[in-house]
C-alpha cells in the first residue's frame, strides 16, 4: 500500500510539474509575438494609408497590432491607452488627439514601464517632435510643413504679394497649431497678409462653405492657404463654381490622391507630399529595433516636399 501511495505521489508531482511548465509557456506576449497597441485620433483617409504601412511591416516583423480610434475625443484616447496598458501590451504607438492629453498618456505608459512611440502628431512644444519619455517620434516637423505652404504662396503670388485666407484643421490639435505658426513665420516680412482665418476641421464640405460665404460677402483675397488637401479641394471647387479660380490661388497640404488630381485639374495650385505608408512602416520598424535592444534616435523625421503643376506627375497619392 505504501508503495502504491508513493508511486501515486510521484505521478501527481510529475503532473503538477508539467502543468506548471504549461502555464508558464501559455498566454502573455513574452514568449509569443510582441503586441503593439496603435492609438489613432480619428478617422481620415490619411490613416488608411498609415495603417497599410503598419500592417505590412508588422506582418514582415511578426508583430501583432491592435487599433483603437478615439473619434477625436482626447479623454476617450486616454481611457483606451489605460485599457491597453492594463492588458499588458508590449508597446503603445500613439497618434494623439490633443497634446496635453498625449503628455498624460506618455506619463502613464512610462509609470507602467510600457515603451511608447509617437507618430504623425507630435507632443509638447518642440517642433521636431522630440519628447522625453518616448522611444521616438516619427513624422514631420509641423512648423516646417506649415512654413512650406507659406513659401509656396510667396512663389505663386510673386513680389506683389496679396491677401491670404487661412483655412485650418481641428482647433487645438498639434498640426493645426504648429502649421499656423509655420505659415505665419514664412509670411512674416513678405507682402502677403493673412486677412481671415477659419477652421474646416479637415473637411472638404466645410471649406467649400467657408469659401462660398467669403465670396458672397465680397471679401478681397488672392490666395487660400489650407492645412490639408480636403479643404483645398473644397475651396477650389467653390472658386470654380463662382468663376473666380483664375483670380485666386489655392494651396493644400498632404499630397492626397484628390489633392494631386486637383492640381492636374486646375482646382488647386500647390500642395505638399510625404508618404503615409512610409510613416506607418517606420512605426513598426523602430518598434522592432527597440524590442531587439538596438538604439533608436529620439526623432525619425519625414520631410514634406512641394508639389505643383510642373512636378505633380512625379507623385502617386496613397490616400
Q: Which domain range does residue 232 map to?
A: 143-273
131 and 147, same structural domain?
A: no
Q: Judge whether residue 18 has pLDDT over 80.
A: no
29 assigned to some structural domain: no
18 assigned to some structural domain: no
C-alpha cell at 69: 480610434
160 and 261, same structural domain?
A: yes
309 assigned to some structural domain: no
CATH classification at residue 297 = 3.40.50.2300
* Digit-coded pLDDT (tens) for 38-95: 999 998 888 999 999 999 999 999 999 999 999 999 999 999 999 999 999 999 999 9
148 and 133, same structural domain?
A: no
Q: Confidence band (pLDDT; 50, 70, 90) for 30?
A: low
* Digit-coded pLDDT (tens) for 89-127: 999 999 999 889 999 999 999 999 999 999 999 998 898
289 and 236, same structural domain?
A: no
Cα–Cα distance list, 35 to 66, 70, 274 (Å): 8, 19, 27
153 and 261, same structural domain?
A: yes
Q: Judge whether residue 8 has pLDDT over 70.
A: no
Of the chain, the percentage scoring pLDDT greater than 90 comes to 85
5 assigned to some structural domain: no
169 and 123, same structural domain?
A: no
152 and 124, same structural domain?
A: no
227 assigned to some structural domain: yes
318 assigned to some structural domain: no
92 assigned to some structural domain: yes
Q: Confidence band (pLDDT; 50, 70, 90) for 200?
A: very high
* Digit-coded pLDDT (tens) for 152-164: 999 999 999 999 9
* Digit-coded pLDDT (tens) for 126-184: 989 999 999 999 999 999 999 999 999 999 999 999 999 999 998 988 889 999 999 99
* Domains: count for the chain: 2
59 and 101, same structural domain?
A: yes
6 assigned to some structural domain: no
129 and 162, same structural domain?
A: no
206 and 279, same structural domain?
A: no
Task: Using alpha carbons, select from 110, 38, 122 the residue that is nearest to residue 301.
Answer: 122
The DSSP result for 253-294, as a single string, is: -S--HHHHHHHHHTS-SEEEE--HHHHHHHHHHHHHHHHTT-
219 and 180, same structural domain?
A: yes
177 and 106, same structural domain?
A: no
Q: Model-level pTM?
A: 0.80
The DSSP result for the chain, as a single string, is: -HHHHHHHHHHHHHHHHHHHHHHHHSSSSSSS--EEEEEESS--HHHHHHHHHHHHHHHHHT-EEEEEE-TT-HHHHHHHHHHHHHHT-SEEEE--SSHHHHHHHHHHHHHTT--EEEESS--SS-TT---TT-S-EEE--HHHHHHHHHHHHHHHHTTT-EEEEEEE-STTSHHHHHHHHHHHHHHTTSSEEEEEEEE-TT-HHHHHHHHHHHHHTT---SEEEESSHHHHHHHHHHHHHTT-TTTSEEE--S--HHHHHHHHHTS-SEEEE--HHHHHHHHHHHHHHHHTT----SEEE---EEEETTTGGG-----
Amino acid at each position: 500500500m505504501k508503495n502504491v501511495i508513493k508511486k501515486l505521489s510521484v505521478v501527481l508531482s510529475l503532473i503538477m510539474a508539467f502543468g506548471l511548465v504549461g502555464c508558464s509557456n501559455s498566454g502573455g506576449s513574452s514568449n509569443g509575438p510582441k503586441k503593439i497597441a496603435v492609438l489613432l485620433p480619428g478617422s481620415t483617409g490619411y490613416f488608411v494609408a498609415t495603417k497599410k504601412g503598419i500592417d505590412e511591416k508588422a506582418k514582415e516583423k511578426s508583430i501583432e497590432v491592435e487599433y483603437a480610434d478615439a473619434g477625436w475625443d482626447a479623454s476617450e484616447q486616454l481611457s483606451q491607452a489605460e485599457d491597453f496598458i492594463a492588458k499588458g501590451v508590449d508597446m503603445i504607438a500613439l497618434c494623439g488627439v490633443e497634446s496635453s492629453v498625449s503628455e498624460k498618456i506618455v506619463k502613464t505608459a512610462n509609470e507602467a514601464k510600457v515603451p511608447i512611440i509617437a507618430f504623425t502628431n507630435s507632443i509638447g512644444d518642440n517642433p521636431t517632435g522630440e519628447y522625453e519619455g518616448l522611444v521616438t517620434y516619427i513624422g514631420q516637423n509641423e512648423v516646417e510643413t506649415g512654413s512650406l505652404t507659406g513659401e509656396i504662396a510667396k512663389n505663386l503670388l510673386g513680389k506683389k504679394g496679396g491677401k491670404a485666407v487661412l483655412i485650418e484643421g481641428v482647433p487645438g490639435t498639434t498640426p493645426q497649431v504648429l502649421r499656423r505658426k509655420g505659415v505665419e513665420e514664412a509670411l512674416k516680412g513678405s507682402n502677403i497678409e493673412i486677412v481671415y482665418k477659419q477652421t474646416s476641421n479637415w473637411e472638404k464640405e466645410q471649406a467649400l462653405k467657408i469659401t462660398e460665404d467669403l465670396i458672397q460677402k465680397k471679401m478681397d483675397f488672392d490666395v487660400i492657404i489650407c492645412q490639408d488637401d480636403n479643404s483645398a479641394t473644397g475651396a477650389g471647387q467653390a472658386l470654380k463654381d463662382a468663376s473666380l479660380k483664375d483670380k485666386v490661388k489655392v494651396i493644400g497640404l498632404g499630397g492626397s490622391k484628390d489633392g494631386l488630381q486637383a492640381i492636374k485639374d486646375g482646382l488647386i495650385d500647390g500642395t505638399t507630399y510625404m508618404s503615409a505608408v512610409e510613416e506607418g512602416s517606420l512605426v513598426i520598424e523602430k518598434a522592432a529595433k527597440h524590442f531587439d535592444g538596438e538604439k533608436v534616435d529620439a526623432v525619425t523625421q519625414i520631410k514634406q516636399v512641394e508639389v505643383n503643376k510642373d512636378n505633380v506627375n512625379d507623385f502617386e497619392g496613397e490616400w
